[in-house]
């Protein structure tokens, strides 16, 4: 299987190259040259364990990785989850199910992809004997999941930029209390945007990138999307047979990576009925699915910070298919959007999608209502999925454990949510480095540590 760019201006590459590069050199995102048909496999796959299912799925895509090696990489990636089902389903009532995606080491769904990505990097390093430097910017969950995916990996040094004082104290502890000597959390004086801008500038310095073996772990990496496809398959197989073809998957959405994975699996033949894109008050995608206009707005910080995103980077992958796999059309739309902050679709085809939006007050109310009705505590991101007024059967993806957001939970239900892995962190030493958000300062810091 080869991988092409959504912008169509670079040659197709292998799986390993697409994963190592992250972003395609023409600025586009990688996609499989052709989506496989999974239908012939579904009967057999329905009997597999989570790790076996993941291995069978990746065998179709990672065709340049030796099958014994792939098996070993995948098996290792799901050993640090604290639930035997890896992605268990909880039934709330006949119409409502929850898919719990927070049983990994950092208690958010990003562990599904970043545990695997860390092991893919490691096996690649063993094969090529080269060193990799991972640089990322985070507003919380991605950084923690990336650090825990790369912790102690031979040949990888990890640098994660985050805005000092602007992520939750527990998220900071997940990044800074690891005790690992190949991980450097860099607290930036400034906002998440400052951190992200500085990071992008470092990536644009191709000489530096080659010198340190720079790689990206943000959600544009194809391996992350593919790893997320697996829990849609697993959820479908675990749902009762009389429910699975008649249920909408509800996905709390920011960068559109999570819901895109489900949508791709549907295109590959899994008979999922449809999706609801659930946003917080940063609702660019909700407005798009309602009215067909993609229009930038200011980011308004919310109690669901991992969804405080306006430009959803993975939307470009959806666009590629929505525009009939025409890279020229994708380039035009992206260009117009870049120049004007807006794109009006003439015939926006939102088949298979509905959407919803929840502001901070609604999120708090939902956490309370769900708790009173079911005795079940949802985190502020997951709460967006419980929008009232929807008729029909739904499975809501629980993207984080509520204990990561104790203040919001306390305010909503008057009780604390805790998790042993977070309690342990509270007595550990914080090790972080202060850096100004200038590309030169970041590069100097990295050179000194590699």
Ligand X SMILES: *Cc1c(COP(=O)(O)O)cnc(C)c1O
* Active site amino acids: 110
Q: Does 279 bind ligand X (CB under 6 A)?
A: no
Name the helix (H) or strand (E) containing 183.
strand 183-188
Q: Of 28-36, 129-137, 179-187, 248-256, which part binds ligand X (CB under 6 A)?
A: 248-256
User: In angstroms, rounded to a whole number, what is the distance separating the alpha carbons of residues 212 and 233?
Assistant: 37
The 3-state DSSP composition of the chain as helix, strand, coil percent (nearest 5) reads: 45, 15, 35
* Residue bearing tokens 């040259």: 33
Q: Of 71-79, 156-164, 177-185, 249-257, which part binds ligand X (CB under 6 A)?
A: 249-257
Which member of 136, 252, 385, 402 binds ligand X (CB under 6 A)? Answer: 252
Smallest gap from residue 431 Cβ to ligand X (A): 23
Smallest gap from residue 379 Cβ to ligand X (A): 7
Give residues with Cβ within 8 angstroms of 147, minimum separation 6: 158, 160, 174, 175, 178, 180, 183, 185
Q: Does 255 bind ligand X (CB under 6 A)?
A: yes
Smallest gap from residue 223 Cβ to ligand X (A): 14
Phi, psi dihedrals of residue 26, rounded to the nearest 5°: -90, 10
* Residue bearing tokens 């076996």: 52
Q: Which of residues 81-110 bind ligand X (CB under 6 A)?
A: 108, 110
Q: Does 356 bind ligand X (CB under 6 A)?
A: no
Q: Is the separation of the CB atoms in 251 and 260 below 8 Å? A: no
Q: Which of residues 281-340 bind ligand X (CB under 6 A)?
A: 306-307
Give residues with Cβ within 8 angstroms of 204, minimum separation 6: none
Phi, psi dihedrals of residue 10, rounded to the nearest 5°: -135, 155
Q: Which is nearer to ligand X, 55 or 379 (CB)?
A: 379
Smallest gap from residue 418 Cβ to ligand X (A): 17
User: In angstroms, rounded to a whole number, what is the distance separating the alpha carbons of residues 394 and 247?
Assistant: 5
Smallest gap from residue 422 Cβ to ligand X (A): 14
Which member of 381, 385, 395, 442 binds ligand X (CB under 6 A)? Answer: 381
Q: Of 12-20, 252-260, 346-354, 412-420, which part binds ligand X (CB under 6 A)?
A: 252-260
Q: Does 196 bind ligand X (CB under 6 A)?
A: no
Smallest gap from residue 404 Cβ to ligand X (A): 8
Q: Of 20-28, 37-45, 242-250, 255-263, which part binds ligand X (CB under 6 A)?
A: 255-263
Q: Residues 127-146 vs ligand X: string with x where CB under 6 A?
A: --------------x-----
Which member of 118, 136, 257, 262 binds ligand X (CB under 6 A)? Answer: 257
Smallest gap from residue 405 Cβ to ligand X (A): 9
* Residue bearing tokens 């990322």: 136
Q: Of 387, 388, 416, whose CA–CA distance to 401 is shortest?
A: 416
Which member of 171, 178, 218, 253 binds ligand X (CB under 6 A)? Answer: 253
Q: Is 195 helix (H, G, I), strand (E, B) or coil?
A: helix
Q: Does 112 bind ligand X (CB under 6 A)?
A: no
Give residues with Cβ within 8 angstroms of 288, minimum separation 6: 294, 345, 348, 355
Q: Residues 210-229 vs ligand X: string with x where CB under 6 A?
A: ---------x----------
Cβ-based neighbour number of residue 336 at 10 Å:
14
What residue ranges in 202-246 does DSSP mark as E strands? 214-215
Q: With 0-12 CB in 10 A as exposed, 13-18 as middle and 19+ as buried, what is 79?
A: exposed
Q: Is the separation of the CB atoms in 280 and 307 below 8 Å? A: yes
Q: Which is nearer to ligand X, 88 or 213 (CB)?
A: 88
Binding site for ligand X (CB under 6 A): 108, 110, 141, 219, 252-258, 306-307, 381, 399-400
């Amino acid at each position: 299987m080869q991988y092409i760019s959504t912008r169509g201006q670079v040659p197709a590459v292998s799986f390993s190259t697409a994963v190592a590069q992250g972003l395609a050199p023409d600025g586009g995102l990688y996609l499989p040259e052709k989506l496989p048909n999974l239908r012939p496999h579904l009967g057999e796959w329905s009997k597999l364990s989570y790790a076996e299912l993941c291995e069978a799925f990746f065998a179709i895509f990672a065709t340049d990785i030796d099958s014994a090696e792939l098996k070993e990489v995948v098996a290792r990636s799901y050993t640090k989850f604290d639930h035997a089902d890896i992605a268990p389903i909880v039934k709330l009532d006949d119409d409502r199910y929850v898919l719990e995606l927070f049983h990994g080491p950092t208690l958010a769904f990003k562990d599904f992809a970043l545990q695997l990505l860390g092991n893919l990097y490691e096996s690649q390093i063993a094969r090529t004997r080269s060193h990799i430097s991972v640089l990322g910017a985070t507003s919380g969950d991605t950084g923690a999941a990336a650090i825990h995916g790369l912790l102690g990996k031979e040949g990888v040094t990890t640098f994660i930029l985050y805005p000092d004082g602007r992520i939750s104290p527990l998220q900071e502890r997940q990044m800074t209390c690891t005790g690992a000597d190949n991980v450097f959390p860099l607290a930036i004086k400034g906002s998440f945007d400052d951190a992200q801008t500085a990071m992008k500038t470092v990536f644009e310095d191709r000489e530096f990138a080659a010198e340190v073996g720079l790689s990206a772990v943000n959600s544009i990496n194809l391996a992350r999307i593919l790893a997320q496809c697996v829990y849609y398959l697993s959820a479908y197989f675990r749902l009762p047979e009389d429910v699975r073809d008649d249920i909408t998957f509800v996905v709390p959405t920011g960068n559109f990576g999570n819901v895109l994975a489900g949508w791709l699996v549907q295109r590959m033949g899994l008979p999922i009925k449809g999706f609801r894109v659930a946003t917080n008050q940063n609702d660019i995608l909700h407005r798009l699915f309602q009215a067909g206009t993609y229009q930038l707005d200011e980011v308004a910080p919310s109690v669901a910070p991992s969804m405080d995103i306006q430009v959803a980077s993975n939307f470009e992958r959806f666009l590629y298919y929505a525009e009939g796999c025409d890279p020229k059309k994708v380039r035009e739309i992206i260009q117009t959007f870049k120049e004007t902050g807006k794109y009006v679709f003439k015939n926006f085809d939102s088949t298979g999608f509905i959407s919803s939006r929840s502001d901070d007050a609604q999120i708090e109310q939902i956490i309370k209502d769900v708790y009173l009705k079911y005795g079940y505590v949802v985190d502020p991101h997951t709460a967006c999925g419980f929008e009232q007024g929807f008729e029909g059967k739904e499975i809501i993806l629980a993207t984080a454990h509520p204990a990561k957001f104790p203040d919001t939970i306390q305010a909503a239900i008057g009780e604390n949510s805790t998790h042993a892995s977070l309690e342990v962190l509270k007595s550990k030493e914080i090790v972080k480095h202060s850096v100004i958000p200038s590309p030169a300062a970041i590069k100097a810091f990295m050179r000194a540590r590699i």
